[in-house]
Chain A
Amino acid sequence: DTGVSQDPRHKITKRGQNVTFRCDPISEHNRLYWYRQTLGQGPEFLTYFQNEAQLEKSRLLSDRFSAERPKGSFSTLEIQRTEQGDSAMYLCASSLPPGTGGENEKLFFGSGTQLSVL
């Protein structure tokens, strides 16, 4: 499977614990995005990488959230001291760099990690 993969698919944790999610983008994609989605809502932008550089962060990304993409390939999203309000689906998406043709401007999404904070 050469699509975007996310791990784990589901995570249940207790309030106050730390959690880490992983995203493996499509191999030739240098752009990687993290979104958060709650039930009945659209995805909300969290952060975006181009290669290993984190170029944009949403105000939604509090200091408890950190994302990395150390070698410009896979990415991790860590949430420290989880709160019940963090319960959501965390979606990762990747895309080609600009100027590479018509496919470069669309996002390819993974299936997401569903986080439940008890």
Chain B
Amino acid sequence: EAGVAQSPRYKIIEKRQSVAFWCNPISGHATLYWYQQILGQGPKLLIQFQNNGVVDDSQLPKDRFSAERLKGVDSTLKIQPAKLEDSAVYLCASSPGAGIGYGYTFGSGTRLTVV
């Protein structure tokens, strides 16, 4: 079974620039998550999709972050404009469903450095 694919692996941008990350979940997984993981901390949920609909985006900084999951398969996360504090690893995860007990599979993440 192929894992969760993310690209790019690394990205360095200047503050106020824009950046986009891409995620392809495990085939058939209805639920897709984007997490932000700052160095030395656990992941923080940014947004959760169920198929192509948003379930939870309460912690997404909507003034600068946006995400979409067209057709309910792959997803993109965009930051515009980036700030220094956005430097982090952005993890994508998928699960078969959004209910209790489902296993999550994480991608390797995109490490973003904002300078």
Q: State yes or no: do A and B come from one complex.
A: no
A residues with CB within 8 A of B: none
Interface residues of B (CB under 8 A from A): none
